[in-house]
Amino acid sequence: MKVILSPAKKMISADDDFTAEGKPVYLKKALRLREYLEQMTPQERKELWNCSDKLAAACEYTFQHTDPARGISPAVFSYSGLAYQHLAASVMTYDELDWLREHLRILSGFYGILRPFDGITEYRLEMQAGIRFGEYTSLYEYWGDDLYRALEDHCIVDLASKEYSAAVRPYVTAADRYIEIIFGEEKNGKVIQKGTYAKALRGAMVRWMAENGTEEPEDLKNFDRGAYYAPEYSGDNVYVFLYGKQR
Q: Residue 157: its pLDDT value, please?
A: 98
Q: In terms of residue numbers, what domain contains 214? A: 2-243
Concatenate the DSSP letters of all residues of the chain into one string.
Answer: -EEEE---S-B---TTTS---B--TTHHHHHHHHHHHHTS-HHHHHHHHT--HHHHHHHHHHHHT--GGG--EEHHHHB-SHHHHHH-GGG--HHHHHHHHHHEEEEETTTEEE-TTBEE------TT----BTTBSSHHHHHTTHHHHHH--SEEEEES-HHHHTTTGGG--TT-EEEEEEEEEEETTEEE--HHHHHHHHHHHHHHHHHHT--SGGGGGG--SSEEE-TTT--SSEEEEEET---
When divided into structural domains, the chain yields a total of 1
Could you read off the pLDDT of 130-142 as tens digits, one per residue?
888 889 999 999 9
Nearest to residue 71, comparing CAs of 113, 14, 4, 155?
14
Report the mean per-residue pLDDT for the chain.
94
Distance CA 89, CA 40 (A): 36
Could you read off the pLDDT of 58-86 as tens digits, one per residue?
999 999 999 998 888 999 999 999 999 99
Residues in the chain: 247
Which stretches of the chain score pLDDT less than 50? none
